[in-house]
Amino acid sequence: MKTVQGVVLGIAALASGVIAQGVPTPEFQVPAIREPHHFVKLDNKYARVLDVTVPGYDSTLYHIHENPYFWISIGPAVLRGQTLGSAELVAIEPLDAEVRYSPVVTHRVGNIAATTFRNITVQIQARDDVSPTGSFLATPRPSGYQAKPPLDNELVRVERLILEPGQSTGRYTLPRSGLLIAAHDGVISIERPGGAAHHLEIMAGGFEWHTGPVTQTITNVGKARFEAIEAVWK
């Protein structure tokens, strides 16, 4: 059985070997889509969505994120990260549903807790070139959006949406491409003009992508609080 000490020492030992050689060798790094803990769930012109699962006391291989990306943690975690070529182990301890952002990087991550670490990683492949230029803000601001977005940079804006049972966002428009990612299991209804309401039993880590502008109303038709993030490309 692997132990916390074993994982940390294993990562450190491998890092020492790489650094000693001066230049990393190819076997120590793979594209993120080929890393065994990363599972591709969507791959289009604008986004690549990866479902990442690392069991307790396990670690990923060194893997390459060739594009900037953000991720949401599905549950809390206690991790150690290591950038290729560095001996430093960086503490990464996300809270449940926490959102983080990273530039292009080659790294690996070790899970030093007994519980499985899971996140949904979204690589930003390109800017939105199908939507009219202009605002990326949802209008009007939906009920359920929290006061401060967890991420807002030159590539993407991420809002946190929390709906109590029976609560609705009201009708609003997302002016650019993006996606909704559920932080927890939930049952929602998505209604868009010209179509019937779409009931969706969405599991934690489930997502809905849309290309271009969309007008919709989201209602929590389940019995528990629904929490998600809604990302809009720029």
pTM greater than 0.85 (yes/no): yes
Tell me what pLDDT residue 102 has.
Answer: 98
What local confidence, expressed as pLDDT, does residue 10 receive? 55
Query: What is the identity of the amino acid at 41?
Result: K
Query: Are 128 and 194 in contact, with CB atoms under 8 Å apart?
Result: no
Q: What is the mean pLDDT of each run of 10 residues along the chain (234 residues)?
A: 52 39 56 97 98 97 97 98 92 98 96 97 97 93 97 98 98 98 98 92 98 97 98 98
Give one DSSP letter per residue of 9-66, joined into a string.
Answer: HHHHHHHHHHHHHSS--GGG-EEGGGSTTEEEEEE-SSEEEEEEEE-TT-BPPPEEE-
Q: How far is CA 17 from CA 36, 91, 127, in A?
A: 22, 21, 38
Walk me through the domains of the chain, giving residue ranges and CATH numbers.
4-124 (2.60.120.10), 151-233 (2.60.120.10)
Report the DSSP beta bridge partners of residue 187.
201
Instruction: Report the sign of the C-alpha dihedral through residues 40, 66, 123, 134, in that order.
Output: negative
Q: Could you tell me which of 209, 199, 204, 158 has the C-alpha nearest to residue 182?
A: 204
